[in-house]
Amino acid sequence: MQLRNISTGEYTLEGTNFSNANGIFLVVYEDGGSGKKFFQKSGTVNVKSYNSSNNRITAEFKDVVLEEVTINGSTNASSKVPYGSCRKIKNMTLSY
């Protein structure tokens, strides 16, 4: 999982693209060698705390939908995979 441009606050995860330089981004890479990537489609994330010196974060995820995408290496633009998989995160708090 990657989060970019982190600061505290609540963010809507709708209408964004991996190549967009603003906001917060949620990208999930599937384990097991499948190479599948999932990018945010909808939901919210509330970053409760973030410490840039040690990269510790606590974030609450609500009703997040991730869709399978490809990411263009030269432009960083994400494109939905036709008939691709989706992943859902109903409600979860992540601390690491």
Domain spans, the chain: 2-95
Whole-model pTM: value is: 0.78
- What is the CB-side half-sphere exposure of residue 88 using CA atoms within 13 A? 3
CA–CA dist 80, 49 (Å, integer):
31
Beta bridge partners of 11: 45
Weakest-pLDDT range from 25-29, 54-58, 62-66, 70-74: 25-29
Query: pLDDT confidence of 11, banded at 50, 70, 90?
Result: confident
Distance CA 88, CA 96 (A): 20
